[in-house]
Amino acid sequence: MSKRAEGKKLAILATNGFEQIELTSPKDAIQNAGGQAFIVSPENGRIQGNNHRDLGDYFDVDTSLDDAKAEDYDALLIPGGLFSPDALRTNQAALDFTSAFFEQKKPVFAICHGPQVLISANLVNGRHVTSIESVQQDLKNAGAKVTDSPVVVDKGLVTSRKPDDLSQFNDKIVEEICEGKHDGQRQSVAA
C-alpha cells in the first residue's frame, strides 16, 4: 500500500443528504494512500448520507464549519447528492470556506451536484469542469467550459460526473493532493 499522501489532510465539506459513495470512496482513497480525511459540516454531531434517493448511513462530523479553517487542510472535497450541495450553496460560511482553498491555491474536488457550491461561490467562470448532466447547463450559465467527461482537471480544480466515475476521480484526487498547491488555481471573477 502506497503512503504517498502521508501527512496530507483532506477536508470533506458535506451536510445531510450527500451521496454516500461520493464521500466514502474518495475518503478511503486518501486514507489508503496514507492521508487523512475530515468531515467538515455546518451540522454538529452526525450527518446522514443518501444512497441515491434512499437514506444512508450516519457519519460523525470531525469539525464544525464554524471552526474550520482552509489553512488546516491540503485540499477540499465537495461530494454530490441532491440535498447537501443545495444546502451548502446557500450557506455563506460554506462558500467562504470553499473560496479560501482557491485563494490559497489548494486543490478542490467536486463531483456530481457538488459543483453547485462552486457556482454559488463564483468560482467556475472560465474554468474547465464537468458534473452530472442536470448541473451542466448551470455551470455553462456561470461561465464554465463544460465537458461531458468522467473527470476534468483544470489547474488544481478536479470535477467529476457521477459514482460510475469514482475510480478515475479518486486517482486524480490522490495525484493532485500529493502535488500540493497549484499556481493556476485561483478565485474566478464572476461574469
The verdict on whether 128 is a catalytic residue reads: no
Cβ 18 vs Cβ 57: under 8 Å: no
Catalytic residue (choose from 52, 113, 128, 182): 113
pLDDT for 145-189, tens place per residue? 999 999 999 989 999 999 999 999 999 999 999 887 776 666 444
- Position 189 scores a pLDDT of 41
As a whole number of angstroms, the distance between CA 24 and CA 17 comes to 14
- Position 180 scores a pLDDT of 78
As a whole number of angstroms, the distance between CA 168 and CA 39 comes to 22
- Position 175 scores a pLDDT of 93
pLDDT at 135 over 90: yes
Catalytic residue (choose from 52, 112, 128, 178): 112
Rounded to two decimals, what is the model's pTM?
A: 0.94
Among residues of the chain, what percentage have pLDDT more than 90?
A: 87
The CATH number corresponding to 9-179 among 3.40.50.880, 1.10.3470.10, 3.90.180.10, 3.40.50.620 equals 3.40.50.880
Mapping DSSP onto H, E and C, the string for 103-132 reads HCCCCEEEECCCHHHHHHCCCCCCCEECCC
- Position 179 scores a pLDDT of 83
The verdict on whether 52 is a catalytic residue reads: no
- Position 181 scores a pLDDT of 72
